[in-house]
Chain A
Amino acid sequence: MATAALKRTPLYEQHAKAGAKLVPFAGWEMPVSYEGVRAEHLAVRSGCGVFDVSHMGEIETSGPDALGLLQRLLSNDVSRVDVGGAQYSVLCRDDGGILDDLFTYRLDDGRYLTVTNAANHERDFEWFAEHADEFDAGVSDAIDRYAMLAVQGPEARGIVAGLAAGELPKRMRTTTIDVNGAETLVCGTGYTGEDGVELLVPADDAAATWDALLAAGAKPAGLGARDTLRLEVCFHLYGNDMDEDRNPIEAGLGWCCKEATGFIGSEAVAAAREQGTAQRLAPFVLTGAGIPREGNAVVLDDQEVGIVTSGTMSPCLEVGIGMAYVTAELAEPGTEVEIDVRGKRRPARIESKPLYRREETDG
């Protein structure tokens, strides 16, 4: 890895033009911020931000028994997704360990597109391909086919609608329409807790779409803001808040597991659901000063009772926030604990999800 050249998305020139700070991320050279993390975060909460998430991968599953294959691999009940629908799930090993978390879109009868995390894409694709033999279905790696732009914020839909030759899909729906002259798969999904869409654009058209979004008022936003936004609403980050050593029950993802479908890992997940797990992932806020960070210990009565998996300063709440695996009985809103931040004990309280709630508007 150390000597491998970093991959660049089709929007590399656009990032340079917008003054991005670029950093290595999962083998890609990605924008971490442009104007500043805080400003970009607040722009997404109050207006519209656009993220280049082209490092995320796509796997297309097709064929007469595409559903059978996905039902075997994905934790959720894929049979409930109609054409134009979207669904979140996890990919598990036989022992229930989480290999990735994924969004799957049903494009047509017998045709699905699954979006993977950049760091897991190759492993996911091999896993899909390995199991495809048992079904009358094929899988293809679609990562080079698309650039992916996440347009997020209260003004996001209006901005995209102004460039689109058709009606945008509702939340958790997907449709192919013309956006800025390019045939685009528009998905009513995101990772910020705001309304908005994600656009899967042919790689060659991505730069023009990006430019048009900026011209229409979207602000470029980087991975830094993407992380603070998702943490405020307690969306999991693979590699931090879950990995192969955690099962979906302890990760708080039991809601997207339908063991009756018999997916790989379903028996382990059913056992964990029935017996409970030693730890649970729980969101928390610091009640005083400080910023919790990944790897900080969670402490109660001088005993280590957990570990922080994500932590940041919340730009909207203006306090330190995070998620931590803690002893299961402590994972209840209201539990007072301490976070050991580089040797300083910072008082914290376990909270319920999400930590940040969008203000109700009558729009």
Chain B
Amino acid sequence: MAEETYPDDLRYHPEHDWARVEGEEATFGITWYAQDALGEVVFYEPPEVGSEVTKDQAYAEVESVKAVSDVYSPLSGEILAVNEAIADKPEILNEDPYGDGWLVRVKLSSPSEVDELLDVAAYRKLLEDE
């Protein structure tokens, strides 16, 4: 299991998802808190490339030994790429939630939505209140 970390360069969604925004594209994943709350991840099925994701809506499910959880999209757009490796080795989500554990890469349809996401300080504050 990875150490608890929340990188400074990411933006966060209150449902414990992160976005790494690079111009009009972004990579999404789940936070350290999310994978820790889930426990040992045993199943993840990537969405289809080309499908649309909408901010605040679920786009995938992740299943651990104890629970099934929706993964929420922090931003809206079209999926450009999915991380197939996680389907074969779901424990990557526990081991490296911000690196090899990325879930999808998205072409953003409304880049201004980024302003609605939390920065690391605001997300940490939210975790303290959980």
- Contact-residue size bin, chain B (C-beta under 8 Å from the other chain): 10 to 19
- Indicate if B25 sits at the interface (CB-CB under 8 A): no
Residue-wise interface mask of B (77-96) relative to A, using a CB-CB cutoff of 8 A (1 in contact, 0 not)? 00000000001000100000
How far is B40's CA from A57's CA once the two chains are assembled, in angstroms?
Answer: 30
Given contacts A33-B65, A37-B65, A224-B65, contact A291 B91 (CB under 8 A): no
Knowing A38-B42, A313-B42, A313-B43, the reply to whether A289 touches B65 (Cβ < 8 A) is no
Bound CA–CA A37/B68 (angstroms): 16
CB distance from B8 to the nearest CB of A (A): 30
Let me know if A354 is at the binding interface, CB within 8 A. no
State in angstroms the CA–CA spacing of A80 and B95 once bound together. Answer: 53
Knowing A290-B43, A291-B43 touch, does A38 contact B91 (C-beta < 8 A)?
yes
Tell me if B40 and A36 are in contact (CB < 8 A). Answer: yes
CB of B107 to closest CB in A, whole Å: 26
In the assembled complex, the Cα of A37 lies from the Cα of B40 at a distance in Å of 8
B68 to chain A: which residues have CB within 8 Å? 342
Q: Shortest CB–CB separation between residue A10 and chain B, in angstroms?
A: 26
The B15-43 residues at the A interface (CB cut-off 8 A) are 39-40, 42-43
Tally of A-B Cβ pairs under 8 angstroms: 26
Encode contact with B along A16-34: 1 for CB under 8 Å, 0 otherwise: 0000010000000000110
Taken together as a complex, chains A and B put the C-alpha atoms of A313 and B89 apart, in Å, by: 12
Contact B63 A291 (CB under 8 A): yes
| Chain A interface size range | 10 to 19
Q: Within 8 Å CB of A224, what residues of B? A: 65
Q: Is B45 an interface residue (CB 8 A)?
A: yes
| Measured CA separation A294–B87 after assembly (Å) | 22
B40 x A38 contact (CB < 8 A): yes
The listed residue (B40, B45, B65) touching A290 by CB distance below 8 A is B45
Residues of the A chain whose Cβ atoms lie less than 8 Å from the Cβ of B65: 33, 37-38, 224
Pairs across A and B, CB under 8 Å, 15 listed: A32-B66, A36-B40, A37-B40, A38-B42, A38-B65, A38-B91, A289-B45, A289-B87, A291-B42, A291-B63, A313-B42, A313-B43, A320-B43, A342-B61, A342-B68
Q: Name B's A-contacting residues (CB within 8 A).
A: 39-40, 42-43, 45, 61, 63, 65-66, 68, 87, 91
